[in-house]
Amino acid sequence: MRSPPPPSSLRNGETSPRMAPAVPHFQSTVSVHKLRRFNTLILVLRFSSFCFSLAAAIFMFTNSHGSSSPSWFDFEAFRFVLAANAIVALYSFAEMGASIWEILKGTTLFPETVQVWFDFGHDQVFAYLLLSANAAGTALIRTFRGGETCTVVNMFCVQSYISIGLGFAGFLFLGFSSLLSGFRVVSLIINGYRFHV
């Protein structure tokens, strides 16, 4: 008794059906435009954070008005303000580069999951660092108002206020960036680790 031919065998000149080509994953034009606008908004926030933090660091670094005037270096809180703003300025500058790369290339600098978690975690850490530094600087400058420092050397206090105010503005923009990076993390988790806007 003859065994039946295997199902894969061809008879009477039949040709095997071609495998349907895999459909590549693509985003609609609307989705691409929304993603680009989202990344552009993040870039604007990062640029603003960079500008304000850098200006705050410069104002604090130059806050010395002669030998009779106190210097920022004499006070631990002001050294903290300078260091925190300088660190955030460097971080924001690096993140601006990553945002520009993502806008131009359409992909993240690192693997998407790593990049999204990296941005979210560092935004949180540096926002709290900036907030605590500026809060410490504010507490110190308020003690100066009750003493002789601000009456004798008014310019030192004015420049300290400006530096701390710019630092708080930098924190504000970094905080907004943190909200958007948090949105990216949530969206990534909900969509099965594929980010969508």
Size of the chain, expressed as the number of residues it contains: 197
Is residue 38's pLDDT more than 60? yes
* Residue in the block written with tokens 């300290």: 160
The pLDDT, as a whole number, for residue 71 is 76
Is 95 part of any domain?
yes
Q: What is the mean pLDDT of residues 123-143?
A: 93
| Alpha helices per DSSP H over the chain | 29-61, 76-105, 112-146, 149-152, 154-190
Name the residue type at position 116. Answer: V
Question: What's this model's pTM, rounded to 2 decimal places?
Answer: 0.76
Q: What is the pLDDT of residue 30?
A: 47
Q: How many CB atoms lie within 10 A of CB 96?
A: 18
* CA gap 109, 168 in Å, rounded: 29
pLDDT at 189 over 50: yes
9's tokens: 């065998």
- pLDDT digits over 162-181, tens only? 999 999 999 999 999 999 99
37 in a structural domain: yes
Structure tokens, 88: 């955030």
Backbone angles phi, psi at 139, to 5 degrees: -60, -40
In a domain, 23, yes or no: no
Residue 139, in any domain of the structure: yes
Number of separate domains in the chain = 1
Q: Is residue 108 part of a domain?
A: yes
Q: What DSSP designation does 125 have?
A: H
* Averaged pLDDT, 141-164: 79
Does 127 fall in a domain?
A: yes
In the chain, pLDDT over 70 holds for what percent of residues? 75
The whole domain housing 123 covers: 29-190
Q: Is residue 9 part of a domain?
A: no
- Cα-Cα end-to-end distance for the chain: 64
5 lies in a domain? no
